[in-house]
């Protein structure tokens, strides 16, 4: 079936697909750089403010610490913990949600929010990994079909001169080269941002552990 399709159409379609992959890759790279930079700055500002606070359980602290200026992963963790403590103080042992060891229940709530923050930080990485792994094969697919059509045309022409062979095959190989060029930034960016996610995950775990310490909930509370 492919012998009836113009080789230029196959190669061009492959290049357009790779162009879309490239645009997606660099869009994600720019967005993730902005996301991580903004989150790091907001976490630093929030940590300074949070550690200087003295009234952990007050609603005024919740509203103050959750302002957009300091909106980051640490602020989200703290807000979840503060809201949980406020609800716990009113609904303690009245519902199954707040029945049991208070410290364990708070830790579970913080871990749930921590997982949500990690998923937010990981957004887009799956697409980067997919582009990095499939782009070379898309380029190779275009190259193989291009070479098949080139060989078919060479056979029909009956000429095996370098001018006849080199041009079509060289054009077909361009797709593989572009596929590799698209895949390399995607793979490098994926590995870089994955390390950043792991680093911020550790920082979130440390912050959540510190929040548990200052929550002043008794460990033997039932």
- Summary mean pLDDT of the chain: 80
Residue for token digits 């080199």? 166
Fill in the DSSP letter of residue 71.
Answer: -
Residue 15 burial (CB count, 10 A):
17
The yes-or-no verdict on residue 132 having pLDDT over 90 is yes
Q: What angle do CA 10, 26, 133 make, to 5 degrees?
A: 55
Cα–Cα distance, 122 to 126 (Å, whole number): 8
95 close to 213: Cβ distance less than 8 angstroms: no
What pLDDT does residue 76 have? 87
The yes-or-no verdict on residue 222 having pLDDT over 50 is no
User: Which tens digit of pLDDT belongs to each residue from 134-144?
Assistant: 999 998 888 88
Of 111 and 66, which is predicted with more confidence? 111
11 close to 146: Cβ distance less than 8 angstroms: yes
Cα–Cα distance, 36 to 99 (Å, whole number): 37
Of 166 and 36, which is predicted with more confidence? 36
Closest CA to 173 of 200, 136, 206: 136
User: Which tens digit of pLDDT belongs to each residue from 149-166?
Assistant: 767 666 766 655 656 556
What pLDDT does residue 24 have? 96
Q: How far is CA 209 from CA 149, 153, 212, in A?
A: 63, 69, 5
Cα–Cα distance, 27 to 128 (Å, whole number): 10
Q: How far is CA 45 from CA 54, 73, 157, 206, 220, in A?
A: 17, 12, 71, 16, 34
107 close to 212: Cβ distance less than 8 angstroms: yes
Cα–Cα distance, 53 to 139 (Å, whole number): 56
């Amino acid at each position: 079936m492919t012998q009836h399709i113009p080789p230029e159409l196959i190669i061009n379609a492959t290049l357009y697909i790779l162009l879309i992959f490239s645009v997606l890759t660099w869009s994600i790279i720019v967005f993730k750089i902005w996301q991580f930079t903004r989150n790091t700055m907001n976490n630093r500002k929030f940590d300074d403010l949070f550690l200087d606070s003295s009234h952990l359980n007050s609603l005024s602290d919740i509203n103050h610490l959750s302002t957009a200026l300091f909106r980051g992963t640490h602020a989200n963790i703290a807000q979840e913990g503060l809201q949980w403590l406020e609800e716990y103080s009113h609904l303690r042992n009245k519902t199954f949600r707040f029945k049991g060891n208070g410290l364990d229940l708070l830790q579970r709530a913080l871990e749930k929010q921590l997982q949500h923050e990690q998923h937010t930080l990981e957004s887009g990485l799956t697409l980067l990994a997919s582009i990095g792994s499939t782009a070379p094969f898309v380029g190779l697919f275009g190259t193989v079909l291009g070479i098949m059509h080139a060989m078919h045309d060479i056979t029909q022409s009956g000429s095996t001169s370098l001018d006849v062979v080199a041009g079509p095959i060289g054009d077909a190989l361009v797709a593989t080269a572009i596929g590799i060029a698209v895949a390399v930034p995607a793979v490098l960016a994926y590995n870089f941002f994955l390390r950043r996610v792991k680093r911020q995950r550790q920082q979130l775990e440390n912050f959540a552990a510190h929040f548990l310490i200052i929550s002043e909930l008794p460990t033997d509370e039932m």
